[in-house]
Structure 1
Amino acid sequence: MPSRIAVLAIDAVEPAVVADFWCRVLDWGIVEESAEGITIGPSSGAWPQVDVFPVPEHKAGKNRLHLDLRADGVSTADELERLVGLGARRVDVGQASDVTWVVLADPEGNEFCLLSRSVQDLEKSETSPS
């Protein structure tokens, strides 16, 4: 059997702030919390989960790995507004001006993207006749 992604790890100076942000973004909860870090995940216990680990240094440079999100049940514009309201901010990582996604950063500067097509847009295109 091939490997599965079980956990994604995020380093943070303030793990509680970053974990809270991602819990609100993904509608997840805290699965486990200890001095080593905070694990968040879906209430169903499904994978993947996200570990937020404390580190002493602030983020430096562009992420080498990031999450891509899709709006689910709302328009992409509404989801962008919600994410910014939760504390995300738009960032420029050198993306072209005509890209179809929006690059954002969490409260500690970890980049992620909001893709232009929602989950429902994708489902419609997959079920429509060619």
Structure 2
Amino acid sequence: MIRIGAIVLNTADPERAGAFWSHALGYDRATNPDFLVPQHSGASRFHLDRTDRTHLDLWTDSKAEQRAEVERLISLGATRVDWDYPEDADFIVLADPTGNLFCVIDIGAPN
């Protein structure tokens, strides 16, 4: 089942944004300080990033599920985005009907 796994927030100051959002949402700083993780299960994590656009990361549990969800989202009006993918990419970049980018990530893929 597809779900919002992370919200990627573009920020010029991840430390300052992290301090604010961790207190505002009751999230903890992860080992990597650019990640904020929820104190309770079921909530999405926050990824603070200086260079990436603000976007959603939608998680799936397998490659097959990822393919099925990408096709389902395309049938709903999403489009594939021409992207320079690394060789071991676990994500597929799509755009919603108004051009907002988002990623569909296979979190079951080996890292």
TM range (shorter): 0.3 to 0.5
**Structure with a larger share of its residues in strand:** 2
TM-score by length of 1: 0.39
TM-score by length of 2: 0.45
Q: Which has the higher contact order (CA 8 A, sep 6+)?
A: 2
Larger radius of gyration: 1
